Amino acid sequence: MMAIAASGTHGVEGRLITEWGAGVTPENAWRDYPRPQMVREHWRNLNGNWEYAVTPESAGRPDAWDGTILVPFCLESQLSGVGRLLQPEEALWYRRLFHADPVGNDRCILHFEAVDYETKVWVNGAPVGSHTGGNTPFAFDITDALQDGDNELVVKVTDDTGGYQLRGKQAREPRGIIYTRVSGIWQTVWLETVPASRIDSLKLDTRIDPPAITVRADVNGASGHSLRVVVSRDGDVVAEAIGDPAGTAVPVPGAELWHPDHPALYDLDVELLDADGAVLDSVRSYAGIREVGKVQDEAGHWRMTLNGQIIFHWGILDQGWWPDGLLTPPSDEAMLADIEFIRDCGFNMIRCHIKVNPRRFYLHCDRLGMMVWQDQVSALGVDPEWTKMAPNPVDAEWPDDAHRQFMMELKRMIDLLYNSPAIVSWIPFNERWGQHRTMDVGAWTAAYDPSRLINIASGGNFWPVGDVADHHAYPHPDFPLDDQRFDDYIKVVGEFGGHGFVIGKEHLWNPDSKNWGYGGLPETHDELRDRFRKSIDVLLELKEKGIAGGVYTQTTDVEGEVNGLMTYDRKVKKISPEELTAISAPLLK
């Protein structure tokens, strides 16, 4: 491994840092196994200090390097040790050495959990692959480019942060509800040694009556294989089966079902067998047995169900931004702390807002019983007029190539997160950001994953597709209940609240900017509590009239927004979790 000095980790002055960010070093930066639902033993983490350089986009590989950057933190972040904006006409280059000892017929796979936005990769000067998209993992088989001993890895990234690029809340000029851009590697980079005949991916489906887990494996290698699946709970084997990799169903008699009140998970040992029964490859995974659905209540209102029972979705809008790592949490522990805080505040659902989190985020939601509404990352700025819930909306016009990229990234996200029992709803569009070809996108999503509810446009322009009609209202919740167009849909308030409060300048991203919340800022803690309590009272009234879920804005302050339940640095809880739980408890009765 290349020896690089560890100085300069916190290179941006005058910005907030979390307690976890203050403890980040090149030696401990994101060491956790990144793919918890398909675990192998033989892997190597490549996070740490790399060399970097910024050049004109058209330039070739740099002759000299500008310094070191701490991977997996983006160029713009404090924790990268650089804190520099990447311009659209520039390229960001990375370089590091790694040691390899190729063995037999095994293959070496190079994994990038996420790089924003266009990526090209070389190993020992040979191109090994390229990728477009900033939000989901990709990998290259680099075996043929390897040599015994030290190997050189070079990565080039370009990131326009504009046009039809799916970038969420990143902006070249942050303001209001849009934030600092993120460029380059922003999640874990790792190596994996795999057999030539192997399991490339798993797809897990469950049913509750009778309870069973079905495992489908995408297999690389010769035909004639079979799949052995062993299901365990708390270390005890409860079921097993051998079947076809295309689909092996394992009945689980008397199964404990996954639910926020009882997030039961089953461990899976999955083996790929040859025709003689010899094990070619094995991976570990887990599954939660549950079914998501909808039903009309006695009054005729559509409600969401889990395992056949009506459940009110009491959620929080979670942006997943950090003052020190931007889109990258400073550590797995930090990310988990946010989810635990949300749970302790009485919420049973998280809306992952215009961001695909690291895979371990969903592991923690699965373990803790937090339902998830998952947004697709949007392209802000290529939008139609925002008519919200009004009739006769008009879509934005997107060219075919931009639409194909949108659909490719939507499919990648669904494939990536499909196995998580916590995810109960997909949201292809937020408000009207990049909203285009809505009926086609909704129909495709519903057909591609019929196991979850489809909320086509949270707060966006309503089109009659999917399962959910979603209205945003600030500061207090609201919904146009008298409009009969929504009678055949689950009605939710996908955003409300946003009650802001400034704790102190030492907790502000920029004390000299306009720090704001919806409906103006209360002057006292008591006024903040009263506003929160009033929003919950209104939501309770709406629930009685047919509203099936509500999403409060938001977990933390973010840059100029001071409407979080915590400060951006996570150091102050503005209202205690106990108090928040007590106020909102009637929603879940």
Instruction: Give pLDDT tens digits for 126-146.
Output: 999 999 999 999 999 999 999
pLDDT tens-digit series, residues 560-576: 999 999 999 999 999 99
Cβ pair 189, 111 in contact under 8 A = yes
pLDDT for residue 13 is more than 70: no
Q: Is the predicted pLDDT of residue 5 greater than 90, yes or no?
A: no
Residue-level pLDDT at 224: 83
Task: List pLDDT tens digits, range 201-251.
Answer: 999 999 999 999 999 999 998 788 999 999 999 999 999 999 999 999 999
Of 302-306, 324-328, 354-358, 510-514, give the lowest mean pLDDT range: 510-514
Is a pLDDT exceeding 80 seen at residue 493? Answer: yes
The predicted model gives 98-115 an average pLDDT of 91
Could you tell me the two tokens for 490? 């689950």
pLDDT at 1: 20
Residue 457 has pLDDT above 80, yes or no: yes
Residue closest to 509 by CA, chosen among 554, 457, 547, 562: 562
Reduce the secondary structure of 277-291 to three states and give it as a string: CCEEEEEEEEECCCC
Q: Is pLDDT above 90 for 361?
A: yes
Task: Please report the DSSP string for 65-134 in residue order.
Answer: --EEEEETS-TTSTTTT---PPPTTEEEEEEEEEEE---TT-EEEEEES-EESEEEEEETTEEEEEEE-S
| Torsion sign across C-alpha atoms 356, 570, 161, 111 | negative
pLDDT for 365 equals 98
Q: Would you say 83 and 76 are in contact if contact means Cβ atoms under 8 Å apart? A: yes
What integer pLDDT is reported at residue 512 of this predicted model?
A: 87
Question: Where along the chain do its domains lie?
Answer: 21-30+47-187, 198-287, 308-391+424-432+458-588
| Gap between the Cα atoms of 589 and 578, Å rounded | 17
Q: Output the average pLDDT for the chain.
A: 95
Nearest-10 crossing angle of helices 438-448, 400-417 = 30
Class of CATH domain 308-391+424-432+458-588 = alpha beta
Predicted structure pTM score: 0.95
Query: Each residue of 239-256: pLDDT tens digit?
Result: 999 999 999 999 999 999
Q: What's the average model confidence in pLDDT over 516-531?
A: 93
In terms of Cβ atoms closer than 10 Å to its own Cβ (0-12, 13-18, 19+), residue 577 is: middle
Per-residue pLDDT at 513 exceeds 90 = no
In this prediction, residue 95 has a pLDDT band, given cuts at 50, 70 and 90, of very high
Q: What CATH number does the domain located at 21-30+47-187 have? A: 2.60.120.260
Confirm whether 21-30+47-187 and 308-391+424-432+458-588 share one CATH topology: no
Would you state the structure tokens that stand for residue 432, as one six-digit string?
């009207």
CATH 1.10.10.60 holds for 198-287: no
Q: Say yes or no to pLDDT of 392 above 90.
A: yes
CB-neighbour burial class of residue 300 (10 A; exposed 0-12, middle 13-18, buried 19+): exposed
Percentage of the chain modeled with pLDDT above 90: 94
SS3 call for 302 = strand
Q: What is the pLDDT of residue 11?
A: 35
CB-based contact 139:176 (threshold 8 Å)? no
At residue 8, the pLDDT reads: 35
* Residue 284 CA: distances (Å) to CA of 35, 105, 189, 228, 367: 10, 22, 20, 12, 16
Instruction: Indicate the DSSP class of residue 377.
Output: P
51, β-bridge pairs: 68, 95
- On the question of pLDDT at 14 being above 80, the answer is no
As a whole number of angstroms, the distance between CA 171 and CA 327 comes to 13
Residue 149 reports pLDDT greater than 70: yes
Q: What is the CA radius of gyration of the chain?
A: 24
Instruction: Return the minimum-mean-pLDDT range out of 3-12, 147-156, 389-398, 433-442.
Output: 3-12
Token output for 545 = 């009239």
581 Cβ contact list (under 8 Å, min separation 6): 344, 345, 346
More confident residue, 513 or 579: 579
Residue 415, number of CB atoms within 10 A of its CB = 14
Helix (H, G, I), strand (E, B) or coil at 35: coil
Q: Which of 150-164, 253-267, 347-361, 509-523 has the lowest mean pLDDT?
A: 509-523
Q: Is the pLDDT of residue 9 over 80?
A: no
Query: Among residues of the chain, what percentage have pLDDT more than 70?
Result: 98
Tokens of 125: 């000067």
* DSSP secondary structure letter of residue 587: G
pLDDT of residue 12: 46
Q: Rounded to whole angstroms, how far apart are CA atoms 530 and 52?
A: 50
Contact between 353 and 470 under an 8 Å Cβ cutoff? The reply is no
